[in-house]
Amino acid sequence: MATAKKATKKSARPKSSSNSKSSNTASTAQSKDSMLEEFFADELKDIYWAEKHLVKTLPKMKKAATSPELQQAFEDHLQVTMEHVSRLEEVFELMGKKPQAKKCDAMAGITEEGAGIIEETEKGTATRDVGLILSAQKVEHYEIATYGGLAQLARTLGHDDVAEILETTLADEKEADELLTGIAENNVNYEASQEEEEE
C-alpha cells in the first residue's frame, strides 16, 4: 500500500502548518479528506467490526466460563461492548460517515484462538477459565492498542470530539484488562494449578 511519500515527519500537532506541501489550516484540513483521514476512517471500520464481533463472542465466553466472577466479568463487558459499538456509530456520525464494518482479521484470529481454547480444555475446570482469561486479555490488549492509536490520530487530525469518545472507550478496555488480571490472580490461577489431568 502506498504511504504518504513525503509526509512531513514534523509533528503530531493538528495546528502545525510547517509542512512544505501545503499549509492549510486545521479547519481546511477537516473539510477535505486527506490520505490520513481516509486511513483513519478505514481503521474505524475495522474496530467497528471487531466490537460487533465481540458482542457475538462474549456470550459464548461467558457460557464456557466456570468461575462466577469470570462469568460476571464477561457479562459486564458485553454490556460495555454494546456501548462501544454505539460510541463508534456516534464517531462515524461526527465524521459525517455512515457506520460501516470491515472485517478485522486480527480480532477474528484472536477469537478463533479463544474458541480453540474452549475446545481443548475441559468444561467446568479452572484451567479453562485461565485460557479464557488469557484469550480475553489478548482481545483487550488489541483494543487498547487500537483505541490508543486512533485517539491519538483523531487529535492529530483535529477531531477532538472524536478523540474524547475513543479515549473513553480506551479507559473501559484498560479497566476490563485489569479486572481480568485480578480474577486470574485472586480466583483462577491457583485453583487451576491444583487441577490434575484426567486420564
Q: Which is nearer to Fe ion, 45 or 84 (CB)?
A: 84
DSSP assignment letter at 4: -
Q: Are 88 and 97 contacting, i.e. CB atoms less than 8 angstroms apart? A: no
Q: How far apart are CA 67 and CA 17, in angstroms?
A: 55
Q: How many residues sit close enough to Fe ion to count as binding (CB under 5 A)? A: 2
Least separation in angstroms between CB 138 and Fe ion: 13
Least separation in angstroms between CB 169 and Fe ion: 6
Q: Which is nearer to Fe ion, 81 or 121 (CB)?
A: 81
Options 27-35, 77-85, 98-106, 155-163: segment touching Fe ion (CB under 5 A)? 77-85
Q: Is residue 77 within the footprint of Fe ion (CB under 5 A)? A: no
Reference 167, options 187, 144, 140, 189; nearest CA is 144
DSSP assignment letter at 123: T
Q: Which residue is nearest to Fe ion (CB)?
A: 84
Taking phi first (over 0 means left), then psi (-120 to 50 degrees means alpha), and beta for anything else, what does residue 48 get? alpha
Least separation in angstroms between CB 97 and Fe ion: 20
Least separation in angstroms between CB 114 and Fe ion: 15
Q: Which is nearer to Fe ion, 81 or 127 (CB)?
A: 81
Site for Fe ion in 131-190 (CB under 5 A): none
Q: Which is nearer to Fe ion, 53 or 84 (CB)?
A: 84
User: Using CB under 5 A, which of 84, 87, 155, 159 touches Fe ion?
Assistant: 84
In the chain, which ranges are continuous DSSP H helix?
26-31, 35-64, 68-94, 105-120, 126-156, 160-183, 189-193
Cell 489478548 belongs to which residue?
138
Q: Which residues contact Fe ion (rule: CB under 5 A)?
A: 81, 84
